[in-house]
Structure 1
Amino acid sequence: MPSITTYYGISGPVPFVDVDVAGDNLLFIDPHAIRISGGPEPYVRDAATCMDTFFSEVTNCVLRGDDDAYRHGLKLLQRFQEPWETRHGMAAVGFRGHGGAESVGTLIWQTLLGDVEALVRIGALCQIEQLPMFVEGIDRDITSDITTRIIYGPLMQFTAEMLDTFPQFTAGLHRAESFERQVWDHHARRWTTVHGRLPIAHGRPLLLVPRGWSRRNLLMSARRYYGTTVLSFVQFEQAVLTSDGRRLKTPKAVLRKRPDLKPVRQTNIFQTLHAFDDKQDLIAAFEQFVDERLNDTTEDNTAA
C-alpha cells in the first residue's frame, strides 16, 4: 500500500510521519515522545499544553471528591471518539476492540478513583503518559488514541501548514475538504468543536503527525517501568549487606517469579507508593532513565 509521499508524489524528506494511507500502521502516538521531541513549534508546545491541562482537569475532579466533580471527570473521559484519521494504531485493539470510547473512559475513571487514587493525591500520577504504567488495559493502542484526541487541535493546525507547504496534497485529482472535529480547548478546559481542512486519501480524511511523535512501543510502558526502575528499587531495598561491605542483590529474573511482585501494574502501584514513603520518586527516576536512553533508540522504532 502507498505511503503518504508515494500517494501524493512528494519527494525528499518530510516533517511528518510517512504512514501507509490505506490502513492502520503499527505506529502509536506517544505522549512522552511528543513532550521531548523538540518540535515543531508551536505545535509541540500546544500539544503538551493540551495534554497537561486535560489531565490536570481530570485529576482535579478526583481531588475535589464531590459528586459534581465525579460526574464532570467521568464525562471528560468519555469523549474519546476513535481518531482513525492519523492511520496510526490497530483498529482491532483500539477503542472498537475495547467496547468504545465510553467504556475506555469509564475504565480510566474507575481506576483513578480506585487503585491509583493514592498516586493522584500525592501528585505522583500527573501526566497522561504515566497512565499505561499503572492502569490495566491501557497500553500503546489506547494511549495513542487518547493522546490523539486530546491533541487533535494542534494536529489539525500542523496539517493545515503542511497543506500550504506541499501543494501536491491538492494537485490534480487530489483535494482537501473542511471537517468539523472535536478538540480540547486548553484555555477553557473543555471539549469543543472546530472546523479545519484535511487532505483526502483513499476517500478518507488524513491527519498528519509530526515526525518524532509516534513510535512502535511506548517510551513509558508498564513493563519497562517494572523491569527497570521498580525491580531495581526492590533489589536495592532487599539487598543483604555482607561483612565485607558488599551488597548481595537478588537477580531480577528471580524477582519476576515471586508471587508478591505480580501482576505488573499492581506491583508498580504498590512499590511506587512504598518508595514515596521512603522519599524516593520512582516515576521521576524512570523518566530520567527513559530520556537518557532515547538517543540510543531509533525514531518510530522499538524502545521496549
Structure 2
Amino acid sequence: MAPITTFYGITGPVPFLDVDIAVDNRMFVDPHAIRLHGASDRFAVRANECTESFFEEILQCVFAGNERRGLWLLQRFLEPWETRLGLAQRGFSGHGGAEDVGSWIWRALNHDINALLQVGLLKQIEDLPLFIEGIDRDITSDITTRIIFEALAEFTSHMIDRFPQFNSSGHRVDTFQCQAWDSAAREWAIKSFDLPVAGGKPLLLVPHSWARSTLLMSATRYYETKVLDYAQLERAVRLHTGKLVKTPKDQLMTEPGLGRGRVTNLNVTRRAHANNDDLIAKFKQFVDMKWTPPSGDNNLAA
C-alpha cells in the first residue's frame, strides 16, 4: 500500500522503521542491536529488561527441571504481525506454530546446548541462534518482538504524541488487547495498548536502529569468524623461525567435523571452553567492535 510516512503524511526523518503497512517487510528485530543501545534511550533499557528477565526465567526452569512451566513460557510466542516485519511464509506459521518452536528451544536447552548453560556460557537470548537449528532471523525477530511488545508499545505511544498525523485527517488510534511479557511479574499477560490503525489493523512502530536485514549474531557469522579462528589455532604449526602457519579457512570448511552448521558451532565452542577459551564472549566483542549506529539514528526519546 504505502510506507508509514506516506500513509500518514509525515514529512522529514523519523526515528521509526518506515515500512510498508500492507506487506511483511524483510527486516528483523535484532535483540543484540537493541542491547548495543544500552542506556542510550529509555525504550532500549525497557526492552533489555524484558529479554533479560524472560531468559533468566527460562534458565531457572531448566535448572529446576520445571518442564511444565518452561514449555508454557516458550510456547506462547504468538506471531507479532503488528510490526509488519519478517517473512510471512517463514515465520511461526511456516514452522509448525509457536508450540513447535517452543518445543525446539526447550529440547535444545535441556539436551544439545545444556552443557553450555551449565557452565554459564549462554547468557542472553541472542545467543540461541548460534546453536539451535531453525532459530534464525525470522524466528528470533518474532520471539524478541513478542517479549519486548510492551517496550515497543511505549515507543509507539511516544511517536503518537510526537507526530499528530497518527490522530488526524481521518486516521485514528484504538485500544487493543495484546499479549506481552511482564518483566516484573515474570509472566505472560494480556494488556491494553493504544496503537495506530493502518489498513484496518493495529500498527506497532519499531525504532529503525533495532531492526536489520540480518542478525548481528548469526550462526553463519559466528562460524566464519570465531569458530574457524579457533579451528585454525588448533591445527596451527609453529616453524623453527617462530612463524605460526595456519590452515586456510576455506580448506578447514571441507574437513570432517568442521563443515558449516550449528553442530560445528557447538562442538568447537565446547572444545574451546575445555581450554578456558570463551568463543561466545569473544564473538560478542568482535560484533560490538564492528557495529556502528545506523546513519541518521535519531534520539528516540526526543
1:258 Cα offset (Å): 1.3
| Aligned position for 1:21 | 21
- Hey, what does 1:216 align to over in structure 2? 213
Overall identity of the aligned pairs, in %: 53
Query: C-alpha displacement at 1:211, in angstroms?
Result: 2.0
TM-score, normalised by the number of residues in structure 1: 0.95
**Normalised by the size of structure 2, how large is the TM-score?**
0.95
Q: Is the 8 A contact 1:215 1:299 kept in 2?
A: no
What code does the residue aligned with 2:198 have? A
* CA offset digits 1:16-47 (Å, max 9, x no partner): 11111111001000000011135763210010
Aligned residues: 297
Change in Cα spacing, 1:95 to 1:63, as seen in structure 2 (3 Å) is: same
Which runs of 5 or more structure 2 residues have no equivalent in the other structure? 298-302
Distance (Å, rounded) in 2 between the aligned partners of 1:287 and 1:299: 24
Q: Is the 8 A contact 1:184 1:190 kept in 2?
A: yes
What per-residue deviation string (whole Å, max 9, x for no partner) do you get for residues 172-209 of structure 1? 21111100111111111111111011101111110000
Task: Flag the 1:194–1:223 CA change in 2: closer, same or farther, 3 A.
Answer: same
Contact 2:223/2:260, CA 8 A, preserved across alignment: no
Q: In the aligned structure 2, how far is the partner of 1:299 from the partner of 1:128?
A: 27
Q: Structure 1 CA distance, aligned partners of 2:294 and 2:5?
A: 24
287-296 or 116-125, larger mean C-alpha shift? 287-296
Aligned to 2:266: 269
Alpha-carbon distance in structure 2 between the residues aligned to 1:97 and 1:111 = 20
Q: Which residue of 2 aligns with 1:62?
A: 62
| Residues 161, 90 of structure 1: alpha-carbon distance in 2 compared, 3 angstrom cutoff | same
Letter in 1 for 2:51: M
Runs of 4+ in structure 1 off by over 3 angstroms are: 296-300
Give distance in 2, aligned partners of 1:180 and 1:280: 46
Is the aligned partner of 1:177 residue 2:183?
A: no
Distance 1:50 1:296, change over 3 A: closer
Contact 1:4 1:20 in 2 (8 A): yes
| Contact 2:129/2:140 (<8 A) preserved | yes
Give 1:295 deviation, angstroms: 2.1
The 8 Å contact of residues 25 and 85 in structure 2, kept in 1 or not, is answered as: yes
Partner of residue 110 from structure 2, selected from 109, 113, 121: 113
Aligned counterparts of 2:294 and 2:276: Cα–Cα separation in 1: 31
Whether 2:88 is the aligned partner of 1:91: answer: yes
Q: Gaps spanning 5+ residues in structure 1: where?
A: none
Distance of 2:235 and 2:40 partners within structure 1: 45
